[in-house]
Amino acid sequence: MPSTKAVLIIGGSGFIGSHLALRLRDGYKVFATYFSNPLRIRGVTGIPLDVSNRNWVKRIVYSSKPDVVIYCAGNNSLEWAEYNARDTERLHTGGPATVSTISDILQPKFIYLSNAYVFDGNKGNYKEGDTVLPSSILGKTKVGGENFIRGKAFNHIIVRTSLLFGRGNGINTSLIDDLRMKFETGQRIELATDELHSFAPISAFTDFIVRLVDSGPRNKTVHYGGLTKLTPCEFARAFATRFGYDPALVFEKKTGPRDESMLVETQTFDYSLNSSFIVETLKVQPLLLEEGFDLFEKSLVTRL
């Protein structure tokens, strides 16, 4: 693994970005951007960035000279996206358009992280070639970002992920952090029962991204998810059972707003992803939920 390869992570202070920075710092020269929360990870150069500021994006790209750009900026909450539509478009569509256009003169590998909300959720087990038909603002802006990268980036990989779980980064709490805090204080937990996801551990996902940084397909869209399909509510109860908490603290609730024309009463949206392409081409093995929980348990002694 060449130690001189430079990786620029756009959105390095987020949940996925900070885990990627931690995973990549020992083998690469890592630059990671943040918007308002300074990034402090040993061995990683943190850089402030507003992806709307084209001149500053150009300065960062030209000074870091990345061999690989990983774009993971944004907020993957459906609810947040619905109430912050302009920022959602700016982060998930406008941002990747700006960064990829400016960086393309250096011809880096461009990895754009998308998610399962690009699909309508009507059938689940989605493969890469299935038609995208998002029913949420988040999904629509992710499709916008995908389309721009696919049409303009010289060397790209679009990675659609299922919901990822793991420890937070000390800046923003993750789903797991929220669950642990509420379980430990005996608080009521309400989570969605009308969405199915193939949950996957963040640590296994970052290992997969390392594979893509060094090799992998070119100009392709790939899916990454786990082997266990369940709702967020079921996930929380499984987590409680596995780690000795009380699953009775977990209650059902519906998710946030969606396009009302797409809603059917009592419908369950299945956003699970089929990862067979990366299994066949990259020999990546998706994990069962219990295997993911085992990895999470090991991560409790992680270094920053």
pTM exceeding the 0.75 threshold for the entire prediction: yes
Lowest mean pLDDT among 125-129, 191-195, 252-256, 300-304: 300-304
> Looking at residue 4, what is its pLDDT?
75
Would you give the DSSP letter of residue 209? Answer: H
pLDDT band at 1 (very low <50, low <70, confident <90, very high): very low
3-class state of residue 45 by DSSP: strand
pLDDT band at 182 (very low <50, low <70, confident <90, very high): very high
Tens digits of residue pLDDT in 70-126: 999 999 999 999 999 999 999 999 999 999 999 999 999 999 999 999 999 999 999
> Looking at residue 38, what is its pLDDT?
84
Which sequence spans correspond to the domains of the chain? 6-167+200-225+274-283
Residue type, 178: D
CA-based nearest residue to 157, from 134, 177, 128, 124: 128
Domain 6-167+200-225+274-283 is in which class? alpha beta
Query: Which strand ranges, in their side-by-side order, compose the sheet holding 68-71?
Result: 44-48, 29-34, 6-10, 68-71, 109-115, 156-161, 220-224
pLDDT at 2 over 50: no
Q: What is the mean pLDDT of residues 219-231?
A: 97
What's phi and psi for 115, nearest 5 deg?
A: -150, 180
pLDDT at 302 over 80: no
pLDDT at 223 over 50: yes
What's phi and psi for 155, nearest 5 deg?
A: -140, 100
3-state helix, strand, coil in the chain (%, to 5): 40, 20, 40
